[in-house]
Amino acid sequence: MNSVNASTGFSNFQIRLGRSPRLIPPIVPTTIADTRSDAAEAVRAQELIKPIEMDVAEAKDNLIQAKVFQTHYANLDRSPDLPFNIGDKVMLSTLHRRQEYKKKGEKRAAKFFPRYDGPYNITDIHTETSNYTLELPNSPNTFPTYHASELKAFLPNDVTLFPGREISRPQPVVTSDGLEEYHVEEIIDSRRRGKGWQYLVRWTGYGPEHDRWLAGSTLDECAALDTWLAGTDSVLGEATR
């Protein structure tokens, strides 16, 4: 109870009672009759309360000073925030979102996951906390605000300098009804919506930022959906054994 807090400079016992605890029991008996009047008791109470108030005020000052010092030394190792603006495209770290890249019934090593994905548009800026709100079309139930340390600027490829890095994206197939259809590469995930199911579709030649949730009724005669359902059924079969 005599341990002094490094931030307040006082022990918790002293801040609460205005004195340090006795380490040795008193030798004099504590049953001596007290003949002091009410006025003397009031003066005695004030004498006890005033040191406690002074200790509490000094402890608050010490806490503020400790926060200032901690902030100063913490900021020495921090890099300045990147000057992002609303509408900019950024890449988002996947360090705390590894589960989004794991498929059901398939073991995947985390070292092969992408370190960043995107790009995502910035929709709001919180300067006081260095946080940014992103537009996450594929994750409507995810809290979209992230710290600046999890973002990095998106640099589009310069085709004139690095033509080999440009990802070829196949154009949509126009049906006889005038509708545009894209090739489905694979099904990433599934979820129940109402009485049916929705599937997260990844298109051939497009990155994760273009993944879309589609109703199962719109994926008729889709080989990727058949592959997904076959894998899901096999996992359920092993789980029920």
- Average of pLDDT values for 66-94? 84
Q: Which of 223, 218, 213 is nearest to 185 (CA)?
A: 223
How high is the pLDDT of residue 107? 67
User: Which token pair is 228?
Assistant: 């997904």
Task: Summarize pLDDT for 148-181 with one digit per residue, the tens.
Answer: 889 998 888 777 887 777 666 666 677 677 777 7
How high is the pLDDT of residue 90? 92
Q: Which residue spans within 86-207 are E strands per DSSP?
A: 89-93, 116-126, 131-134, 145-147, 151-153, 173-174, 180-181, 184-193, 196-203
Task: Summarize pLDDT for 175-233 with one digit per residue, the tens.
Answer: 677 777 778 888 888 888 888 888 988 888 777 777 888 888 888 778 888 888 887 65
The mean predicted confidence, pLDDT, of the chain is 78
How high is the pLDDT of residue 162? 78
Report how far residue 33's alpha carbon sits from residue 73's, in angstroms, rounded to the nearest whole number. Answer: 56
- Domain made up of 167-239: CATH architecture: Beta Barrel (2.40)
How high is the pLDDT of residue 111? 73
> Position of tokens 């001596």?
32
Domain segments of the chain: what residues?
Answer: 1-22+35-78, 89-153, 167-239
* 131 and 146 Cβ atoms separated by less than 8 Å: yes
Cα–Cα distances in angstroms (integers) from residue 57 to residues 10, 66, 224, in the given order:
11, 14, 68
Instruction: Kindly give, in sequence order, each residue whose CB lies less than 8 Å from that of residue 96, ignoring residues fewer than 6 positions away.
Output: 150
